[in-house]
Structure 1
Amino acid sequence: MKQSVQGSAEAGTPECRGGGGSRVPAQARVADVLDVFRERGGAVPAARGEHTHGERPIPGPRPVVQRSSVRGQILDALRTALVTGELQPGEVYSAPALGERFGVSATPVREAMQQLALEGAVEVVPNRGFRVVERGARELAELAEVRALIEVPVMLRLARTVPGERWAELRPLAEDTVRAAADGCPATYAESDRAFHRALLGLAGNEQLVGIAADLHRRSQWPPVRHGRAYLVADAAEHMALLDALIAGDVDVVRGLVSEHFVGAH
């Protein structure tokens, strides 16, 4: 339930292999995500106004993308790269270079990057491309505070009104986070963490609330904080403890868990 996850600096970035049966696919590295794409077309010329000379090459074999839902696939891959730290804060990436990496034109990459700009993940650098935003501890703390203002009162209200059997239906999602934590993949864990939170808040029946909370949650997951597998396992255990308290209708325990979570999450 904490805000961001990443392999420890001492142990290195953990390999993402899938969540041991989890519903959420492993997404540790962009190259792994894009291995499922199929060859379409050849080299892509640089787009006008963006220059690739001198730009550091992106490691790994060149992946390629299916034409269906190209923008969405690239957006997912770029979001994964933010969580895993492959897209480095402060670095500038051009749409033509990323397009060549993905085996597509610069247009869908630029569109995906523009969406990330709206989400605050990158900023436009005229005639160069997009710079990954360097987000500090203060901004992460502010995101945690805003999430707490939204999620804590909603969870307490739901704890008093939603029957235990409804909460029990969410156990598979909590178990997904446990498997993802054991696997040690930050991107897989981030996705399963968001899915669990979406399901909890979804019981409020307010789509606007769920959408705003999900956007804040995604923003809070990068840049990745250097925590290891033990951090993820402990975080997933909090999901299970919270769900057990909700099923039991123990509002006091729920209050303590959700309030404490946001205090030490950033």
Structure 2
Amino acid sequence: MDAVADAHVGLPELGGRDSLREQVAEALRNALIGGKLRSGVVYSAPALAEEFGVSATPVREAMIDLVRDGLFETVRNRGFRVAPLSARDLAELTELRELVEVPAVVRLAGAIPEAARERLRALADETAAAAEIGDLLHFLDADRRLHTELLGLTGNRTLVRTVLDLRYRSRMYSPARPATKERLASSAAEHRDLVEALVAGHADRAREIMMRHLDHVRNA
């Protein structure tokens, strides 16, 4: 039988903003890919709600959304547990990202609008700052926002949703190999290099960086 979580996970307190359901879902995704939610452990909506400082309803709704996304499984009359992810799952997700995400980003080479350049550079700097102090959750949040900004420049909303879902799923495997400051710093440096390659119109260089970025995930 699966263990039931009997200690705090270390989740942020929420409240006072719009769409608690979405906030909770995002926080749970970050906790998942940051290794705070463990495979084989059952988490109850009331216990998680207490940590978030909100009622159980938005937490339960968010968990149901994440079940639909395939990130969690429902345990009847007990709560929710992290859906298992195998090495084969990771390999298949990474292959899909290579087929979809890499060409989408590479096509942006030489086509980054002036207004977006400083936003992308600022986000790359934010990942570097988080890496320097080893703040994994802040790094992952800035990383997500940077890649969302990039993908959003394609103008294809379905592509954005698809790639972000693939990124979340593949990130689930990362706790098997805890991220060090060195690994985070390396990824942050790739963010900076990628932005500059795209701004300069260097498509081949951008493709090389993206493939190396995905190799980090594949070799987790």
* TM-score (norm: length of structure 1): 0.70
- After superposition, residues 1-266 of structure 1 pair within 5 angstroms as 55-59=4-8, 66=15, 69-159=19-109, 161-162=110-111, 165=114, 168-169=117-118, 170-223=120-173, 224=175, 225-266=177-218
Contact kept? 1:145, 1:262, Cα under 8 Å = no
1:244 offset after TM fit, Å? Answer: 1.7
1:229 offset after TM fit, Å? Answer: 0.6
What is the DSSP-based 3-state SS (H/G/I as helix, E as strand, rest coil) of the residue aligned with 1:265? Answer: helix
Residues 248 and 56 of structure 1: is their aligned pair in 2 closer, same or farther, counting only changes over 3 Å?
closer
The superposition leaves residues 216-239 of structure 1 with CA deviations (integer Å, 9 ceiling, x where unpaired) of 112222242312010000011011
Which shifted more, 58-67 or 200-209? 58-67
Unaligned stretches of 5+ in structure 2? none
Partner of 1:5: none
The superposition leaves residues 165-217 of structure 1 with CA deviations (integer Å, 9 ceiling, x where unpaired) of 46633211211111121121111111111111111122211111112111211
Contact kept? 1:87, 1:132, Cα under 8 Å = yes
Aligned residue identity for 1:130: F
Q: How many residues align?
A: 212
The superposition leaves residues 5-46 of structure 1 with CA deviations (integer Å, 9 ceiling, x where unpaired) of xxxxxxxxxxxxxxxxxxxxxxxxxxxxxxxxxxxxxxxxxx
Residues 61 and 251 of structure 1: is their aligned pair in 2 closer, same or farther, counting only changes over 3 Å?
closer
Residues 70 and 256 of structure 1: is their aligned pair in 2 closer, same or farther, counting only changes over 3 Å?
closer
The superposition leaves residues 226-265 of structure 1 with CA deviations (integer Å, 9 ceiling, x where unpaired) of 1201000001101111122222222221222223332342
Report % sequence identity: 45
CA distance in 1, matches of 2:63, 2:153: 32
What is the DSSP-based 3-state SS (H/G/I as helix, E as strand, rest coil) of the residue aligned with 2:108? Answer: helix
Contact kept? 1:71, 1:109, Cα under 8 Å = yes
Q: Which has the higher contact order (CA 8 A, sep 6+)?
A: 1
* TM-score (norm: length of structure 2): 0.83
Aligned residue identity for 1:126: R
Unaligned stretches of 5+ in structure 1? 1-53
Contact kept? 2:13, 2:53, Cα under 8 Å = yes
Residues 231 and 142 of structure 1: is their aligned pair in 2 closer, same or farther, counting only changes over 3 Å?
same
Contact kept? 2:10, 2:36, Cα under 8 Å = no
1:78 offset after TM fit, Å? Answer: 2.0
CA distance in 1, matches of 2:95, 2:101: 10
Which shifted more, 194-203 or 231-240? 194-203
The structure richer in helix per residue is: 2
CA distance in 1, matches of 2:93, 2:148: 17
Aligned residue identity for 1:206: N
Higher Cα Rg: structure 1 or 2? 1
Aligned residue identity for 1:162: A
Aligned residue identity for 1:249: G
RMSD: 2.6
